[in-house]
Structure 1
Amino acid sequence: MAAITMEHLVKKYDDGFPAVNDISIDVADGEFLILVGPSGCGKSTLLRMVVGLEDITSGDLNINGVRVNDKQPRDRNLSMVFQNYALYPHLSVYENIAFPLRLSKGQFSEEEIDRKVREAADTLDLNEHLERKPANLSGGQRQRVAMGRAIVRDADAFLFDEPLSNLDAKLRGQMRTEIAQLQRRMGITSLYVTHDQTEAMTLGDRVAVLKRGQLQQIASPRELYEQPVNLFVAGFIGAPSMNFIPARVNGSVFQTPIGDIEIPERVQGKLTNAPEIVLLGLRPEHFEDAKFVDEAKIPHGTVFDSEFTHTEWLGNQQYGYIHYQQDAAVQHKLNELAQELDADEMPAQVVVSLDASSRIRGGTTAKIWLDSRRMHVFNPETGENLTRDAEAGAELTREANEERKNEIERARQRDGARAAQTGDAAPHGDGDGAGNGAGSSAAR
């Protein structure tokens, strides 16, 4: 396995455009790091720089402490799983998996090749498909074949370039689980590129959020969600997205288009240098139909009347929509943010989470409770999160680190116990697992 260090990496094309602009990231040995961001943010380019398919304009790339900028891809001992699987249609599943071993020109005997292929097939539940051709497999099975080809190489790290984007939603969920379990069992360093934040939040030890070639924040999924560093990260992470509502400070309340919101005590001291108009960041789950809120919680938030345009009932959850008149003073910033997030516009509406039993419907006015303790306040011009608690965020990432390491250890103990019962060898991988030495929210 390998630790991968990116030091001030830059990739400029002939026209001078920096697709990757001064990115520094330490990937710990055994860590699962996700690169995420909208289209054109530079995430795939960065991955290709690591594997050697893109030249590095400036900066240093080190694998296990060795500078590899000038090394060919085959000399970096990294294994890449592509979006289109890159399988050979005329070869069987067995021969597709064995292909990189046969390329080694005599380095492996037929017995060694057969052992490695069958071990990978067993790990990926492909034993019944070894004689089939890729065209006769499902999308998920083809993806597992591509992963099997990566496994047999005994590479120092796996690199995934949007491997699930060609699958339907149900199969993506299944493959996410399989990839996560495989990475835990093998404890192999992995870099995974996706534009799907659900993949990012469910797979990664840490997630690096990119925008226009620049690193915005790198942290555990929970830290990104609860302590985003700026408007972009807050808007990109979370589904439905965070609501951004313009507000003016008037004494102890925020005056907003949806009503007056009491300013929490923890927020008051952070507004000293705030501009005249700020943006409140409120996630849908920060709201609730006041009828379903415990009386003890009511004083910790604000209750106000809102008219709903419509609601969406999804069985186990429900969302309500409140429209309001946008403040022209922040419209340009929200339009800019929408473009950065690959959206056409930022609608002047608030999405609120409602209890599935709530009878609120479109066209009705109802009392809504907001847990104002959980709000964020952003400077609309700089995008800075004025209420971010960096220490609390770093603690979330440290906790996630420990939880992941313990989870990997439990997985290995289970595999070891099964191997002892069957007489088979346990899956390889001898590192500490994800997160040993992984940093907190701040990039180096």
Structure 2
Amino acid sequence: MASITLKNLVKKYGDGFPAVNDISLDIADGEFIILVGPSGCGKSTLLRMIVGLEDITSGDLLINGERVNDKAPRDRNLAMVFQNYALYPHLTVFENIAFPLRLNKGKYSDEQVKKLVNDAAATLELTEHLDRKPANLSGGQRQRVAMGRAIVRQADAFLFDEPLSNLDAKLRGQMRSEISQMQRRLGVTSVYVTHDQTEAMTLGDRVAVLKKGILQQVASPRELYEQPVNLFVAGFIGSPSMNFLPATFKDGNILETAVGDIRIPEDKAAKAAGKKVVLVGIRPEFFEDASLVEEHKKAHGSTFTAPITHTEWLGNEQYGYIHFDPTPEVRELLDNLARDMDADELRPQVVVTLDAASRVRGGRDAELWLDTRRIHLFDPESGENLTRDPEAGAELTEEANERRAEEIAMAHDHQEAAATTSE
């Protein structure tokens, strides 16, 4: 296992454009970290710099405190799991997993190779498939073979480059669980690249969000969700996405928005003092059907009426949609934000999450309640989250770190108990 340290890493190509721009990041021994962002943000380039497939223009890359900028990939003892599996079709599963061991001629005896491959196959539930060829395996099984090849190398760290993107949605869910459990059992340092935020939010100890080669924020998934540092992170993390509403202040702590007036806590209003216009960040679940909110709870929010254009009922919950007409300035702001997030457009609408029991229907006005304690206020020019609480965010990440350490310890205890039982 290994710690990986990135110090001011820069990658420039022939045209001088920095695909990776001054990124510094400390990855702890045994940590599972996710690199996420839209297409072209530099996440895969950064991963390839770590493994040695891309040269480093400037900055330092350290593995276990040793500078490895000039070391060849084979000398860094890192195992890469690619998107396309990179399996040899003419070899059996056993020989595909054993391949990196065979390359080290004379280092491993046949008995050692057999034991390492069988142990990896048992970990990944591939034992009964060892004599089969890759063409006869499912996509999930082929992915596990690729992971088995990484395990037998006994590498210091695993690097995953969008390993699940070729799988269907159901299989992706299963493989997410398998990768997470495997990483807990092995306790190996892992760096995982994805553009899928579900993978990012469910797999990682910490998530590093990149935009145009620049690191925006690195934190636990919960901190990213609840305490985003800027507009980009807030809009990129979460599904459905955070709603952004332009607003102006009137009468102190009342925000005038396209969907009505919203009274916010005075401490939040104070953090945006002096701003003529702010963007209000509201996640869909901050709303509720006002008729279903208990009276004592209503005092902690703001109630307003807005026209619902249509609803989508999902069984356990439903979404309501409110459209608004943006000013040209707001339209430009939404278009710029959409380009940053690699989206076609950000429609001028508000998505609200409603209880499945709600009788709110499309084509009618609905009375909605908004939990204003949870909203964010953003500077539309800089994108800064004016209401972010850094201390609360740090606590969320620390809690996640402690919980992860407990899970890894429990996984190791179970593994040792299983090994003792088998003996």
* TM-score, L = length of structure 2: 0.99
Deviations, residues 223-257 of structure 1 (Å, cap 9, x unaligned): 00000000000000000000000000002200000
The alpha carbon displacement at 1:327 in A equals 2.8
CA contact (8 A) 1:330 1:380 kept: no
| Mean Cα deviation higher: 19-28 or 322-331 | 322-331
> How far apart are 1:57 and its partner, in Å?
0.3
Using the alignment, how far apart are the partners of 1:52 and 1:342 within structure 2?
28
Q: Separation in 2 of the partners of 1:30 and 1:108?
A: 26
Deviation at 1:296, TM superposition (A): 1.2
Matches within 5 A, 1:73-92: 73-92=73-92
- 8 Å contact kept, 1:97–1:146: yes
RMSD over aligned CA atoms reads 0.7
Q: How does 1:143-162 map to 2 (within 5 A)?
A: 143-162=143-162
Q: Which residue of structure 2 lines up, in the alignment, with residue 40 of structure 1?
A: 40
User: Unpaired segments of 5 or more residues in structure 1?
Assistant: 424-444
Where do residues 387-398 of structure 1 align in structure 2 (5 Å cutoff)? 387-398=387-398
Aligned to 1:268: 269
State the match for 1:232 in structure 2: 232
1:126 alignment partner in structure 2: 126
Residue pair 2:264, 2:302 contacting (<8 A) in 1 also: no
- Structure 1 CA distance, aligned partners of 2:118 and 2:330? 60
Give the 5 Å matches for 1:316-335: 316-335=316-335
Q: CA deviation at 1:273?
A: 3.6
Corresponding residue number in structure 1 for 2:400: 400
Find the aligned partners of 1:271 and 1:70 in 2 and give their Cα distance: 48
Distance of 1:410 and 1:419 partners within structure 2: 14
Residue 117 of structure 1 pairs with residue 87 of structure 2? no
Alpha-carbon distance between aligned partners in 2 of 1:112 and 1:101, rounded to the nearest angstrom: 9
Matched, 1:164 2:164: yes
Q: Secondary structure at the match of 1:373?
A: coil
2:204 is equivalent to residue 204 of structure 1 = yes
Tell me if the contact between 1:209 and 1:218 (Cα under 8 Å) persists in the aligned partners: yes
Residue in 2 aligned with 1:2? 2
Q: How does 1:32-71 map to 2 (within 5 A)?
A: 32-71=32-71
Q: Distance in 2 between matches of 1:272 and 1:316?
A: 40
Q: Deviations over 1:389-411 (max 9, x none)?
A: 01110111011000100111111
For residue 264 of structure 1, report the CA deviation from its aligned partner. Answer: 1.0
Q: Check the 8 A contact 2:264/2:301 in 1, yes or no.
A: no
- Unpaired stretches in structure 2, ≥5 consecutive residues: none
Q: Quote how far apart the aligned CAs of 1:379 are.
A: 0.5
1 CA distance for matches of 2:238 and 2:43?
19
SS across alignment from 1:388: coil
For 2:231 and 2:266, locate their aligned partners in 1 and report how far apart those are by CA, in whole Å: 22
How far the C-alpha of 1:328 sits from its partner, in A, is 2.5
Distance 2:179 2:336 in 1: 35
**1:246/1:327 contact within 8 Å kept:** no
Where 1:297 maps in the other structure, the secondary structure is helix
Map 1:294-443 → 2, pairs under 5 A: 294-423=294-423
Structure 1 moving runs of 4+ over 3 Å:
none
State the alpha-carbon separation in 1 of the partners of residues 267 and 222 from structure 2. Answer: 21
The amino acid of 1:380's aligned partner reads: P
1:3 CA displacement: 0.3
Query: Would you say 1:254 and 2:249 are equivalent positions?
Result: no
Query: 2:177 matched to which residue of 1?
Result: 177
Partners of 1:151 and 1:377 in 2: CA distance: 46
Which has the bigger relative contact order, CA under 8 A and spacing at least 6?
A: 1
1:416 Cα offset (Å): 1.5
The alpha carbon displacement at 1:286 in A equals 0.1
Partners of 2:221 and 2:26 in 1: CA distance: 17
CA displacement 1:111-144 (0-9 Å, x = unmatched): 0000000000000000111011101100000000
The CA deviation string for residues 133-189 of structure 1, in whole angstroms up to 9 with x for no partner, is 101100000000000000000000000000000000000000000000000111100
In the alignment, the residues of structure 2 paired with residue 329 and residue 81 of structure 1 have an alpha-carbon distance, to the nearest angstrom, of 45
Amino acid in the other structure paired with 2:158: F
Q: Is the 8 A contact 1:280 1:375 kept in 2?
A: yes
Alpha-carbon separation, structure 2, partners of 1:254 and 1:81: 49
Task: Check whether the contact 2:321–2:349 (CA below 8 A) recurs between aligned residues.
Answer: yes
Residue 433 (structure 1) aligns with: none
How far apart in 2 are the matches of 1:60 and 1:253? Answer: 49
Distance 1:417 1:313 in 2: 46
**Superposed CA offset, 1:180-238 (max 9, x none):** 00001111000000000000000000000000000000000000000000000000000
Q: The residue matched to 1:150 in structure 2 has which SS?
A: helix
Q: TM-score, normalised by structure 1?
A: 0.94
d(CA) in 2 for partners of 1:13, 1:289: 52
Q: Cα deviation per residue 1:56-94 (whole Å; 9 max; x = unaligned)?
A: 000000000100000000000000000000000000000
Provide the rounded CA distance (Å) in 2 between the counterparts of 1:367 and 1:361. 11
Q: Indicate the larger mover: 237-246 or 329-338.
A: 329-338
Q: May I ask how many residue pairs the two structures share in their alignment?
A: 422
Which stretch of structure 1 is more off in the superposition, 295-304 or 233-242? Answer: 295-304
Question: What's the CA shift string for 1:389-440, capped at 9, x where partnerless?
Answer: 01110111011000100111111111222221112xxxxxxxxxxxxxxxxx
Indicate conservation of the 8 Å contact 1:9/1:59, yes or no. Answer: yes
Partner AA of 1:388 in structure 2: R
Amino acid at match of 1:23: I
- Equivalent-residue separation in structure 2 for 1:266 and 1:314 (angstroms): 36
